[in-house]
Amino acid sequence: MFIVILFFIFPMVVGALFENHSSVAEQYIKGAILELAIFNVCYYILIFVMRSNSLQTLTEGYTIILLALAFIGLGKSLHKRMQYGQQMHDIVLAVKENKLLTIVMLVIIAYQMLRLGVGVPTQVRDSLDYDSMVLQMVENGLVYGWRGTTEFNPQQLMYISPKFVTTPWYVYEAYVAKIIEVHPLIILRTFMPIYIMLLAYMALWFLGRELLYDSCSKRMMFVIICGILYESRLVFGEQSAYMLVWPTWGKSVASAVICTLLIAWYIRIMGQDDSHRCRGDALWLYLVCFAGTATTAAVMMAFPVALGALSLVYGVYKKSLKPIGVGIIGGIPCVMELAIYEVYTHHLLDAWFMRAGV
- Count the residues in the chain: 358
Residue 122 pLDDT exceeds 50: yes
Query: By three-state DSSP, how is residue 162 classified?
Result: helix
Q: How many helices (H) and strands (E) does the chain have?
A: 20, 0
Residue 145 pLDDT exceeds 70: no
Most confident of 87-96, 185-194, 261-270: 261-270
Identity of the amino acid at 306: A
Least confident of 38-42, 95-99, 124-128: 124-128
3-state secondary structure 305-357: HHHHHHHHHHHHHHCCCHHHHHHHHHHHHHHHHHHHHHHHHHHHHHHHHHHHC
Most confident of 14-23, 61-70, 109-118: 61-70
Is 155 or 270 the better-scoring residue by pLDDT? 270
Query: In sequence order, which ranges of 213-272 are alpha helices (DSSP H)?
Result: 216-231, 233-236, 238-244, 250-253, 259-270
Rounded alpha-carbon distances, angstroms, from residue 297 to 81, 97, 118, 186: 41, 44, 29, 26
Least confident of 9-13, 116-120, 311-315: 116-120
Query: By three-state DSSP, how is residue 19 classified?
Result: coil
Least confident of 97-111, 226-240, 259-273: 226-240
Q: Where are the domains of the chain?
A: 2-356
Cα 349 to Cα 345: distance, rounded to the nearest angstrom: 6
Residue 219 pLDDT exceeds 70: yes
Cα 195 to Cα 105: distance, rounded to the nearest angstrom: 17
Residue 356: pLDDT band with limits 50, 70, 90: very low
Residue 234: pLDDT band with limits 50, 70, 90: very low
Contact 326, 285 (CB under 8 A): yes
Residue 19: pLDDT band with limits 50, 70, 90: low
Contact 297, 47 (CB under 8 A): no
Least confident of 192-196, 206-210, 343-347: 343-347
Closest to 138 (Cα-Cα) out of 97, 173, 99:
173
Residues 6+ apart with CB under 8 A from 208: 218, 219, 222, 223
Identity of the amino acid at 7: F
Burial of 281 (0-12, 13-18, 19+ CB in 10 A): buried
Is 213 or 164 the better-scoring residue by pLDDT? 164
Least confident of 2-11, 50-59, 233-242, 270-279: 233-242
Q: Distance of alpha carbon 284 from its chain centroid, rounded?
A: 13
Say what the pLDDT of residue 87 is: 65
Instruction: Compute the 3-state secondary structure of the chain and give helix, strand, coil in percent, each to the nearest 5.
Output: 80, 0, 20
**DSSP per-residue letters across 48-75:** IIS---BHHHHHHHHHHHHHHHHHHHHH
pTM for the complete prediction? 0.88
Please give the DSSP secondary-structure letter assigned to residue 258. Answer: I
